[in-house]
Structure 1
Amino acid sequence: MLDVVTLGETMLRLSSPATQRLEQTAILNVDVAGAESNVAVALSRLGLQTGWVSRLTANPLGRMVVNKIREQGVDVSGVLWTDEARVGTYYLEIGHPPRPNMVIYDRAHSAFSLVNAEEVDWDYMANARVLHLTGITPGLSPNCRTLILRALDVAKKVGQIVTFDLNYRAKIWSPEEAAGALGEILSSVDILLSGREEVQTVFGFEGTSVDVAATLRDRFSIDLVVLREGERGTVAHDGKLHFHEAYEVEIVDRVGAGDAFAAGFLYGYLFDGRPMDRPETMLAEPLGTVDHGLAFGMALAALKLTHHGDISWSTRDDVLNLMHRRQQGWR
């Protein structure tokens, strides 16, 4: 049995080097990039058994994506292959203050966006303790929206814990479109992770992070809401309030830090920050604490900010060492 299974599109990221702008560069760095696969990779590197399900074009670009994810120990046997469509890509210009990051998507009519829910091996999807999804997927196409609803239905039937990162992308859909689709989804979610500003953009919930988290829990009956606030840290609400401050980091690449936080939080909260050593059964309840999850999540996100690419390259020892240094007074 897998500990965590994820479902979503992974693209090729083409980024200009260092401080160069896209229109001036003669070189593009190629990386594999997808929120759901980022989480699967990060958790695999922490020691869990993870799987990633997607749909890719059977060509060298599709194989590049799968090979990179497989290299990190993620099971990719659930990936669907097709001769039609294309592998999605996006172009990234890494910003330096006061200039922000710039992203240009080229993912329309990708192989994943055309997926049919009937293609997926739902027995494979069901054979995991945790299902992790993001709000990117339902915004890609009506087919993808149907796919997510089917995944949630299967998860409910087999007793999976469902975790969901809102991950609102303004380049994919409008706040009004997102609010309608995500509102239907969130009622089936056990743990919601998001940035506070994303929630305010999509749902219009105003107030402090504590206010927004409380509103989300009440509106959608979510057990646990975790809100990221960048340099201000995180707040979690499960009926009680939990806070964790951010690390002071010299940022190399912001992209993927939210996914690293999600992976670290799930590892610390659901799995108590250690590999599973129990029978092939579902998780009746989290093995760790919310505070443990926040500590792992913030540490893994901080480490991700220090290197290039979407993927988190940190190990469990890296995270534990950083957490230990914080306990010794390093910020």
Structure 2
Amino acid sequence: MAQNNQAQSFVTLGEAMGLFVAKTPGRLADVEEFSRYLAGAEVNVAIGMARLGFQSNYVSKVGNDCIGEFIRNAIGKENINTDSISETADYPTGFMMKTSQTDGSDPAVEYFRRNSAASTLNASDIDASLFKADTHLHLTGVAAAVSSSMREAIFKALEYARAQGCSITFDTNLRPTLWPNQETMIKTVNELAFASDIVLPGVEEGKILVGSEDPETIADFYLNNGAKTVIVKLGAEGAFYKTAAGESGTVAGFKVEKVVDTVGAGDSFATGVISALLDGKSVAEAARRGNLFGSLAVQVRGDSESLPTRAKLIELEQA
């Protein structure tokens, strides 16, 4: 992969949503005040890549409503190319609500995304001109779960990317409640993983997708089916990596004094890994940066607020 990040183009697609986080602990039904943020697994990574100076492109669809307008404005402020975000008056923009936890546990989340504008994204919304030899495509299991038409869009993006020789990452990122059944989820997610260069599963996801929670077994499964590199997320313990060339190892996680919110940590991890690889770093160094970004994410409420600029990254990695 090229080492000059300014020459690198990054593309991802999925559903951006409004995120309303409770200002006080308690059940969502009882909370009266919320803070608004931008959310969405793929848009979080697009934001992280843009802050690091990469040419970031995000493909999605929003409704002609206040949340859609908020999303467009928020993404635009992050210097992300919004030309591929279309708008429809026929479907609303999706949003989610999240509890506020004080003990570091995972927050309760409720989604309002059924029949959303983004769920109508389809293969015809994918522009072939986005994909060039220096383009990196990032895909996730979240986007694949949204709808059958978005899955078609994902496979079209894969087709264009592979035709141009683009590098491709895939974050398995399972959302079982969005899939029609577990069999379809496992089959589709693994098919996308097999077609990608770099696969980023979590060890808990490995139990579902591979039938094992052993990091090396998970890695070998994807390496034996076409992936070139697999980095398995181990939570607070860090990450295990293995390549098709046989290089492997475990990179320790970063100690965090107080966990505020775990949502978005996986997206930050992906941003760290992808950016490091595009910067020409080794797989071990990429896993370390992924761990660093993940540790920053769990210390804030929003999903993308902790993602650093290039200047901040240099400061963090020199510390």
- TM norm structure 1: 0.88
2:137/2:169 contact within 8 Å kept: yes
Q: Is residue 226 of structure 2 the alignment partner of residue 214 of structure 1? A: no
Residue 178 (structure 1) aligned to one of 172, 185, 203: 185
Cα deviations across residues 189-211 of structure 1 (Å, max 9, x unaligned)? 0001121111212x242142122
Is 1:237 the counterpart of 2:231? The answer is no
Alignment of 1:102-141 (within 5 A): 102-126=108-132, 129-141=135-147
In structure 2, what is the equivalent of residue 23 of structure 1? 29
Give the letter for the 2:239 counterpart: T
- Match in the other structure for 2:291: 298
* Superposition deviation, residue 181 in structure 1: 1.3
Specify the SS of the correspondent of 2:263. Answer: coil
Q: Distance in 1 between matches of 2:114 and 2:22?
A: 22
Residue 238 of structure 2 aligns to which amino acid in structure 1? G
How far did 1:44 drift?
1.1
> 159-168 vs 92-101, which deviates more?
92-101
CA distance in 1, matches of 2:66, 2:131: 26
* Preserved CA contact (<8 Å) 2:123 2:152: yes
Q: CA deviation at 1:125?
A: 4.5
Corresponding residue of 1:278: none
Alignment check: 8 A CA contact 1:13 1:32 kept: yes
- Asked if the contact 1:2/1:127 (under 8 Å) is kept, the reply is no
For 2:237 and 2:295, the matched residues in 1 are separated by 13
CA contact (8 A) 1:296 1:319 kept: no
- Equivalent pair of 1:41/1:72 in contact (CA under 8 Å): yes
Q: Aligned match of 2:107 in 94, 98, 101?
A: 101
Residue 207 of structure 2 corresponds to which residue in structure 1?
A: 200
Q: 2:271 aligns with which of 263, 266, 270?
A: 263
| 1:278-297 → structure 2 map (5 Å cutoff) | 287-297=280-290
| Conservation of the 8 A alpha-carbon contact between 1:7 and 1:53 | yes
Mapped to 2, the partners of 1:53 and 1:113 lie a distance apart of 12
Secondary structure of 1:227 counterpart: strand
- Which of 309, 315, 319 does residue 321 from structure 1 map onto? 315
Number of corresponding residues = 308
Shift of 1:18: 4.4
After alignment, is 21-30 or 120-129 more displaced? 120-129
The one-letter code sitting in structure 2 at the alignment partner of 1:301 is: G
Shift of 1:242: 2.5
Q: Deviations over 1:138-160 (max 9, x none)?
A: 21111111111111111111111
Query: Which amino acid in 2 is paired with 1:206?
Result: S
TM-score using structure 2 length:
0.91
Change (3 A) 1:128 1:26: farther
Residues 180, 313 of structure 1: CA spacing in aligned structure 2 closer, same or farther, 3 A cutoff? closer
User: Could you tell me whether the CA contact under 8 Å between 2:137 and 2:167 is conserved in 1?
Assistant: yes
SS across alignment from 1:150: helix
Q: In the superposition, relative to structure 1, how do residues 128 and 22 fare at CA in structure 2: closer, same or farther (>3 Å)?
A: farther
The aligned residue for residue 46 of structure 1 is 52
- Contact 2:131/2:164 (<8 A) preserved: no
Letter in 2 for 1:247: F
| Unaligned ranges ≥5, structure 2 | 1-6
Match of 2:31, SS state, is: coil
Aligned to 1:307: 300
Question: 2: CA distance between counterparts of 1:18 and 1:323?
Answer: 34
Contact preservation (8 Å) 1:216, 1:222: yes
Distance 1:71 1:297, change over 3 A: same
Q: Distance in 2 between matches of 1:254 and 1:240?
A: 30
Which secondary structure does the structure 2 equivalent of 1:171 belong to? Answer: helix
CA distance in 1, matches of 2:210, 2:197: 21
User: Is 1:7 aligned with 2:13?
Assistant: yes
1:227 correspondence with 2:253? no
Determine if contact 1:268/1:295 at 8 Å carries over to the other structure. Answer: no
2:261 to 247, 253, 265: 253
Q: Deviations over 1:203-240 (max 9, x none)?
A: 2421421222112211x221001111111110111021
- Matching residue's letter, 2:313: V
